[in-house]
Amino acid sequence: MGKLSLKAVEDRVAPLAGRDIYDREFIFDLLLAYGKPQGNVTRLRNGSLSVAVDPSTEVAQKNVVYFKETTGDPLAVADELKTSPAVVRYSTRFVIVTDYAEVVATDTKTGETIGFPIHEIDQHFTFFLPWAGMEKAQYVAEAHADVKAAERMGKLFDELLGANPGMLDTAGGRHALNIFFTRLLFCFFAEDTGIFADNQFTNAVGSHTQTDGSDVAEFLTDLFTSLDTERVEDKPKHLTAFPYVNGRLFTMSAEHVVPRFTKKARELLVESGTLIWREINPDIFGSMFQAIVTPGRRSDLGQHYTSVPNILKTIEPLFLDGLKDQFGAGFGSAKKLEALLTRISEIKVFDPACGSGNFLVIAYKELRRLEHAILERLADLDQRHQVLYAESKISIENFFGIEIDDFAVEVAILSLWIAKHQMNSEFKDKFGVSIPLIPLKETGQIQQGNAITSDWFVACSNGISDETYVLGNPPYLARIVHGARV
């Protein structure tokens, strides 16, 4: 059978809607509707092709689907299943959970999850189009919150430029503004994700500064100093509730001047704090905000970054697929899984033209998710591993980059910190162990420089036995996403 058209798939899925009775045949009929071979579906039905852990309630085909029946909450079951060792092991594209009234489905490639009544499957047929060979040209579903945040911060950027004429005329002034905005980004994210108390930063600005903005610069200078101060007794009393951050992010110097604020700038700052920053994705937002602060690039907002699926097209064949194959080969052996953990903890990833770090962020997240799956499987084999591995062995210090743009360097480091916090949250959800982000222990391995003239072996030290991967999307006129092992 040739490839099906969009209309053909729609027509084939339509009869699945509105059935009187739904049972396990639903998943087999759904796969057939997208053109999956009849022979494979037959083998999946009789169990000879299925890789399901629990055949009594599950049907699974490598690279295609992990389907699970449940009498509980489909969303809760799907959340747990989508990052399970079995799904990671078999690189399952779609996870589908149903109680035969509701369906929850996750596209593991894009991270997108949808839920709908099972009799409305025809209204959601486009979600599963990759089964028919129709990939999404660009994943934009996760960019909406990032676009809104970038636009809001762009308005603040413009207002501060107006209030601080000439700030961009010198390298020092631009650097100070870049540092200032990376600090704001961290504070907004921190107060929405449990690093700070809920809304702590925005409430502090709103409660301790004049509405005309005249003292905002002074207050923020004191706050940033406090965030870089370890001893509580050395902090101003009204700032003692803020934690110690470390990691050089808030180190103050003569170069790190907070810009003057106007009434409008203060309003924009507080308004920015009302956004839901926990929805911000560091792999996308960094590139978007870089466009905001770069003249001539705002019209490209949301269009210029490399999408997650395209990044995965580099990462997966370069090293991730091989690691998952090793995971599958050692699935029943604690010794082999421990060896794999050691291997991935020592892998280095280097992007010599890293921009805002989106390739590094995705690589870090994928290695952390694989680590989580390995730890889950080790716990299944031997409960003692839940105690032995109480933290991640993957350090952001193994993710290196060179970037010519000063602001992008800071955002890349910040993005890796944010990604680490997000993965620490997933770790806590899975293992009940909290790994605090702060005080920051890593300082980041992103350096400013020209990748063409910089010594790559200085930027990313590489011993003869090191496993190092070089990847990225250099800003050539003909942009090619690529990677290599060295």
DSSP 216-269: HHHHHHHHHHHHT---GGGS-GGGTTSPP-BTTTT---TT-PPPP--HHHHHHH
User: Is 201 domain-assigned?
Assistant: yes
Q: Are residues 280 and 352 in the same domain?
A: no
**Which H helix or E strand runs over 367?**
helix 358-381
Q: Are residues 339 and 253 in the same domain?
A: no
Among 281, 300, 319, residue at a domain's last position: 300
User: Is 120 domain-assigned?
Assistant: yes
Q: Are residues 108 and 225 in the same domain?
A: no
Q: Are residues 107 and 150 in the same domain?
A: no
User: Is 110 domain-assigned?
Assistant: yes
Q: Are residues 453 and 326 in the same domain?
A: yes
Among 300, 318, 351, residue at a domain's last position: 300
Q: Are residues 253 and 269 in the same domain?
A: yes
User: Is 22 domain-assigned?
Assistant: yes
Taking 50 as the pLDDT cut, the residues of the chain under it are 137-143, 298-304, 477-480
pLDDT given for residue 384 in this prediction: 62
Q: Are residues 360 and 447 in the same domain?
A: yes
User: Is 276 domain-assigned?
Assistant: yes
Contact 63, 84 (CB under 8 A): no
State pLDDT tens for residues 325-367. 999 999 999 999 999 999 999 999 999 988 888 899 999 999 9
Contact 305, 358 (CB under 8 A): yes
Strands 102-107 and 348-351: unpaired
User: Is 258 domain-assigned?
Assistant: yes
User: Is 197 domain-assigned?
Assistant: yes
Q: Are residues 441 and 355 in the same domain?
A: yes
Q: Are residues 152 and 96 in the same domain?
A: no
Q: Are residues 230 and 286 in the same domain?
A: yes
Which domain does 326 fall in, by range? 308-485
- Number of folded domains in the chain? 3
Among 132, 153, 174, residue at a domain's last position: 132
Q: Are residues 425 and 313 in the same domain?
A: yes
CB neighbours of residue 364 within 10 Å: 25
User: Is 462 domain-assigned?
Assistant: yes
Distance CA 142, CA 121 (A): 23
Q: Are residues 97 and 225 in the same domain?
A: no
Question: Rounded to two decimals, what is the model's pTM?
Answer: 0.78
Ramachandran category for residue 55: left, alpha or beta (phi over 0 → left; psi -120 to 50 → alpha) = alpha
pLDDT given for residue 479 in this prediction: 46
Provide the β-strand partners of residue 107: 94
